[in-house]
Chains A and B, each alone.
Chain A
Amino acid sequence: MFIKGKVIKYGDNIDTDVIIPARYLNTSDKKELAAHCMEDLDSTFIKRVKSGDIMVAGKNFGCGSSREHAPIAIKESGIACIVAKSFARIFYRNAINTGLPIIEYDGEIDEGDVIEIDFDGGKIINQTKNKQGSIAPFPPFLQNIISEGGLLNSLKQGG
């Protein structure tokens, strides 16, 4: 898998309440959720995000609630991948289970940079800064869930 896109960057501890505030959780409609994605932190996000953009953040991304509405809203907004220093664990598993690509990476990336992620080659290339770093692949167990098209499909295959 190979993803290339422009970076929208946030800080540490981006919590699920700012990704999608609870006042919008009375629906599970993807489009409605995406329309409010990040609004309490950055009301410009939903206006400027373009399909294929990459969200970059600091440590503990997605901390807080178990709401799968959070990765759903981010994915539906057009974000192709999230790169963070670390992820909160429920967000991490929700992203895997719902097929939103995520990568843990601690290299230099700034707002507006164009980066390329080569999942199979284990590389991340910052084209704007002309820098390159390596990323750890998912354990085979998780790769299997991803390649089977999510958790339910992989269990159906007799996993």
Chain B
Amino acid sequence: MTLTQKILAAHVSGKKQLSAGDMIMADIDLVLGNDITSPVAINEFEKAGCCNVFDCGKIAMVMDHFTPNKDIKAAEQTKKVREFARGKNINNFFDVGEMGVEHALLPEKGLVTAGDIVIGADSHTCTYGALGAFSTGVGSTDMAAGMAYGKAWFKVPTAIKFNFHNKLNKWVSGKDVILHIIGKIGVDGALYQSMEYGGEVKNLTIDDRLCICNMAIEAGAKNGIFSVDDVTLKFLSECGAKQPKIYNADGDGDYQKIYDIDLAQIQSTVAFPHLPENAKTFDEFGDIEIQQVVIGSCTNGRLSDLRVAAEILKGRKVHKNVRAIVIPATQKIYLDALNEGLLTIFIEAGCAVSTPTCGPCLGGHMGILAEGERCVATTNRNFVGRMGHPKSEVYLASPEVAAASCLTGKITSPQTL
């Protein structure tokens, strides 16, 4: 069995062995929802006549997409979730003041551990595979069923294995790795499958791994998952996560395909509009002028992302044609960045720095693009209209490329500064 299949099997009572294609009803360790998907789930929960949640400690609700509320409708949605969470004693309800972008927040709060099954009514729930959990995005009805019964159905997936070798070069990070992989296999290259990562994973930080797993969905995958090592265990214990359960794949024989990825060969990579698979390296394109840069999101709004952006921006000025927006992904990251002096560097360079929110990542608020505008973003999607006008363009890149591009007003490789 693959690593994913092992975790699934451990969550189906009386099952030791699973095969790809089996349909299962599995017990889940955590159910997640946000301010967009939870209201729909609450509707379904109530419509079905459910009264109680299966376990008020195993549900997390994070108000992150349109918060602090951008308009009256968003405020009504959040209010509905807040009242539900209070009524059901859901303590892991994170509102303005303690919230963060959900997929940065849950690991930081120690709510996910290795060996868990996590479902979330948000497609980037696949992020927690970085910690050795099986985690996957589902819809609101699944969330409602998860809240009521603590169960979710799955079709047991096949998997693709990626074995890493060597180390990343300076100014190259997890984002370049995943954009490179999606460029190689395509936006449906792992459809209905797991993406499992092994080999020399010790050379990738937890933040790199979270970023790599975050974008598994952009290759159509059910989940992305790293094998657990000392780096994972250290992170989990620092966050106060529950006791990890470590599973291992039986061997490479159970994988449909195996790729060897030489980290040392990976270069800064940019995904052009309007699909994450349109990955290009800097030798493949010329000057592209931009009007906005966004550094943030569940993909790259973590402390290490802000650190590297600050390293590039320190003592320099954002180009006059560029609006640079920096959004720390959680309150803790915001505070750490403040204490480390990173926010001063950003503000002195001419960036706008905001409280945590998804904001512009999904075209919600805090940096919407006008017709014809281009943005370099450290986010994960560049679909038509994703950040605003249907005729605007989003170029996905690492925080290194985003920060370098702030300075020149063009999509810029950090190596050339």
Give me the interface of A with B, judged by CB distance under 8 Å: 13, 15, 17-18, 21-23, 25-28, 40-41, 59-60, 63-69, 71-72, 86, 88-90, 93-94, 97-98, 139, 141-142, 145, 150-153, 155-156, 159
- Say how far B382's CB is from chain A's closest CB, in angstroms: 10
Known contacts A69-B40, A90-B138, A155 near B65 by CB under 8 Å: no
Asked if A152 and B381 sit within 8 Å, CB to CB, the answer is: no
Contact between A22 and B362, CB atoms less than 8 A apart: yes
Pick the contact of B142 from A22, A59, A97 — CB < 8 Å?
A: A97
Shortest Cβ distance from A152 into B: residue = B48
Chain B residues, Cβ within 8 Å of A142: 23
A15/B73 in contact, CB under 8 A: no
Q: Are B142 and A93 in touch, CB under 8 angstroms?
A: yes
**Complex CA distance for A156 and B390, rounded to whole angstroms:** 42
| Chain B residues in 8 Å Cβ range of A150 | 141
* CB-defined contacts of A23 to chain B, threshold 8 Å: 363-364
Judging by beta carbons under 8 Å apart, are A66 and B191 in contact? no
* B264: Cβ under 8 A from any A Cβ: no
The smallest beta-carbon distance between B79 and chain A, in angstroms, is 12
Do B383 and A64 have beta carbons less than 8 Å apart?
yes
Of B66, B222, B275, B364, the residue contacting A13 (CB under 8 A) is B275
Q: Which residues of B contact A159 (CB under 8 A)?
A: 25
| B137 located at the interface, meaning its Cβ lies under 8 Å from any Cβ of chain A in the complex | yes
CA distance A103 to B148 in the complex (A): 29
Q: Is the CB of A26 within 8 A of B141?
A: no
Counted as pairs of residues, one from A and one from B, with CB atoms less than 8 Å apart, the total is 142
Question: Could you tell me how many residues of chain B have their Cβ less than 8 Å away from some Cβ of chain A?
Answer: 55
- B138 interface neighbour in A21, A40, A93, A156, Cβ under 8 Å: A93
Q: Does B144 contact A (CB under 8 A)?
A: yes
Contact (Cβ within 8 A) B191 A26: no
30 A-B interface contacts by CB (under 8 A): A13-B188, A17-B363, A17-B383, A18-B385, A21-B363, A23-B363, A25-B36, A26-B66, A27-B77, A40-B390, A60-B188, A66-B120, A66-B123, A66-B137, A66-B138, A66-B140, A67-B139, A68-B121, A89-B222, A90-B138, A97-B139, A97-B142, A139-B155, A141-B153, A142-B23, A152-B47, A152-B145, A155-B148, A155-B151, A159-B25
Residues of B contacting A152 with CB < 8 Å? Answer: 44-45, 47-48, 50, 141, 144-145, 148
The interface residues of chain A lying within 8 Å CB-to-CB of B23 are 139, 141-142
Bound: A71/B122 CA distance, A? 15
A153 to B123, CA, bound (A): 24
Known: A26-B71, A26-B77. A63 touches B220 (CB 8 A): yes
Instruction: Assess whether B50 is in contact with A68, with CB atoms less than 8 Å apart.
Output: no
Q: Give complex CA distance A9, B368 in Å.
A: 30
CA A5 to CA B256, docked complex, whole Å: 38
B70 on interface, CB distance cutoff 8 Å: yes
B140 to chain A, nearest CB (A): 4
In the assembled complex, the CB of B83 is this many whole angstroms from the nearest CB of chain A, namely 15
Q: Top 5 closest A-B pairs, CB basis?
A: A94-B139, A141-B23, A152-B48, A97-B141, A26-B73
A151's partner among B39, B125, B141, B188 (CB-CB below 8 A) is B141
Q: Of A15, A28, A59, A60, which is within 8 A of B39 by CB? A: A28
Q: Report whether A28 and B43 are in contact in the complex, using a CB–CB cutoff of 8 Å.
A: yes
A63, B187: Cβ atoms closer than 8 Å: yes
Closest to B368 in A: A23
Which of chain A's residues have a CB closer than 8 A to the CB of B308? none
Residues of A within 8 Å of B385, CB to CB, are 17-18, 21, 40
Within the complex, the shortest CB–CB distance from B35 to chain A, in Å, comes to 9
**B384 at the A/B interface (Cβ < 8 Å)?**
yes
Give the docked Cα–Cα distance between A118 and B77 (Å): 40
Within 8 A of A (CB), among B194-229: 217, 220, 222
> In this complex, which of A64, A88, A94, A139 has the most chain B Cβ atoms within 10 angstroms of its Cβ?
A64
Any A CB within 8 A of the CB of B37: yes
